[in-house]
Structure 1
């Protein structure tokens, strides 16, 4: 820094001098440290989680709704298959999946987010981490999961779904199943992708193979189990592969 940009005080002086305004805690450099701390906390909490699946869906789904029951069944089935269950830790579908996992004796994880209209994690979360920043939280959903199961939801659910599809399409993640549960809910979106996005040339035909739509919880879990077995297989063609069948190497 030169001329008018030169600072007359030192960094140590500004750190040790407690006088003056506290606006500095809201500056971008300080936010970088907060962001770093969220990654460190998330990595530390989940590093030894083991095989896990992230489950997404609406926070507005009420207990007693058929899709809440599906989320519970999914949480139990994933636990029985040896997976931990990761959700956003909120109410609705997330709570249902956490409840099913918890009641089945599995590991129930909630990755919460600071929002003006939601507070705290649902009571079925065993391992919980709260985040300020969506992008740090979204990294944890992908890094520690072996696949996504997406139940009916709104914009937040769509955000996670299309983030995962983008990561698979661009080969940032490999061998990553994405399963949409609820054919009635998802058919309109899938038809639009097939008949508008594909026909317009915005995606390729093979991109439609990146996700699977079903109403069957057992089928969804079976797809995840099969993918896990392929990752562990020493046979030719086993291990991770991109959607076109090529190896990441």
Structure 2
């Protein structure tokens, strides 16, 4: 899952980014509204965490710009402001959720997972694909009822595929959800990850569509 984190407080931004990466999120960081607006209009994200009080362009204006351009990325507004008018302005601009500082990191992670899950059309937290189960709220996988141990890269690939099960996920789109924008990525790295996943979950789950991408399926 790839997240855009928009926070102008440098210390808080670093702590949030580190915590989200520890939960297997791919994180891009913007420290002002101008950079955030550009990133949201040009990159693919599963969700965004957006502060309201930003330099250059305020958070509500950034969000309104994304929505006016047709960007449907789920957005959690993060702010120290506790007034109802600020919440109304954010929701009217297109926010999906609202977290007020100070907050617990665990709460933000749960809310992020929830908005990503809902944005992919899953109402329940548990997503099944045959014998494979993903608890989208806790971020855990099971195969035949047993916990599945995955590396961070394997988790990112498999979570993206299961949330879009029975749908071909474009190779470029999948790569962008696995690696951060400044990563040095080998041309065959995604194939290596998929190969490792097939060894762990079986060869029938992940289908390759040559020239397009991958699909997670329960068909055998």
Instruction: Establish whether TM, by shorter chain, passes 0.5.
Output: no
Bigger radius of gyration among the two: 1
> TM class, shorter-chain normalised?
0.3 to 0.5
TM-score of the superposed pair, with normalisation by structure 2: 0.41
TM-score of the superposed pair, with normalisation by structure 1: 0.37
Question: Larger strand proportion, structure 1 or 2?
Answer: 2
Question: Larger helix proportion, structure 1 or 2?
Answer: 1
